[in-house]
Amino acid sequence: MSDLLSELRDACEWVATRALHVRIQADEIPAYAAGLPRDAPPAAPDPDAHLLSGTREQLAAFWLTLNAVNFGSGWFPTLQKREGRSGYFTIATGIRGRFLTNGPWGARQLAAMRAAEIAQVLGQAPDHELMELFARSLGDVGGHIEEDHGGSFEALVDSAGGSAPTLVERLTGWESFADVSSYDGVNVPFLKRAQLAAADLSRAGVAIDLGGLDRLTMFADNLLPHVLRLDGILRFEPALVDRIERGKLIEHGSPEEVEIRACALHAVELIAAQRPGSRAADLDQLLWLRGQEPRYKASPRHRSRCTAY
């Protein structure tokens, strides 16, 4: 059991009991949990955005590289998106294209990454603020892979000894995957991208026997809280809803933003408790797919400019 993941669950429950801007509608959860499909097929990787074949090393490199830059949703409205693609899929498609055309970046190449290079790969302006953040995150990943794992991405995966929580804690120690907020003096280690990286590596077959996936939580971002709000499981105070619908940024680390993420995560834990055998990470995937439907796309979600999501 991961101490950090236990700390995360406890902290989110603690935040939910004190939240002033977001409330969990606990009475609605039993019916909501019962109404969610149990036999929904797992989300298949997108063949146009994800690398589906290659050596284990190449696949490990792809998923770790992608997760290193799987953030920036607060800037997505300012990106030059590929036709019919969201911000995430624009980024993923660009990374995949680089892997197919020129092969993976090696650890040393990532360590030397510059904003202009990643901008060119992603089809973005080199002076866009997000490109510098992407380059910094990729550089950190490359440095750790080179110095700690002999330049091998799969060696990092194997260093976790088949434990998803251990892999999460390894990644959490890197600046590129850091994701800890504070609420009224209490640390909330959301660890969104570190957890998602572990799940992605398992789903991609890079870490086939990765145990402890049931210990992962929801991957706290800005889509699942949006889905849960529109589905009536979360209630935001009217002033917060108004700011979101007017497209106002919600400051990362502010009480409102921490409450949004923490209450969503705790709500998913409550939903999972109503469904024996359900894993929070699987519910995350189910609700993420629901969030791609037109009803959810038509309404604004909260935006925060940060490297967490």
User: Checking DSSP bridges between strand 186-189 and strand 180-183, what pairing results, if any?
Assistant: antiparallel
- Specify the residue for token string 């110095």: 147
3-state secondary structure of 82: coil
Nearest to 114 by CA among 93, 140, 85, 135: 135
Average pLDDT, the chain: 96
The model's pLDDT over 243-290, given as tens digits with 9 standing for 90+, comes to 999 999 999 999 999 999 999 999 999 999 999 999 999 999 999 999
How far is Cα 171 from Cα 296, in angstroms, rounded to an integer? 31
- Does the pTM surpass 0.75? The reply is yes
262: Cα within 13 Å, side-chain hemisphere: 33
User: In the predicted model, what is the mean pLDDT of residues 85-100?
Assistant: 96
Output the pLDDT for position 1.
41
CB 96 within 8 A of CB 67: no
Would you name the residues annotated as active-site residues?
A: 221
- What is the rounded average pLDDT of the residues 87-92? 96
Task: List, for residues 216-238, the tens digit of each pLDDT value.
Answer: 999 999 999 999 999 999 999 99
Contacts (Cβ under 8 Å, ≥6 apart) of 63 = 197, 200, 201, 204, 206
Cβ within 8 Å of residue 37, ≥6 positions away: 286
| Residue 147, pLDDT score | 98
Q: Determine the Cα–Cα distance for residues 127 and 116; give it in Å rounded to an integer.
A: 8
Lowest model confidence (mean pLDDT) among 45-49, 53-57, 171-175, 292-296:
45-49
Enter the tokens of residue 31: 């019916």
Q: Name the percent of the chain lying above pLDDT 90.
A: 94
Main-chain phi, psi angles of 291, to 5 degrees: -65, -10
277: phi > 0 → left, psi -120 to 50 → alpha, else beta; which? Answer: left
Question: How far is the C-alpha of 9 from the C-alpha of 73, rounded, in Å?
Answer: 24
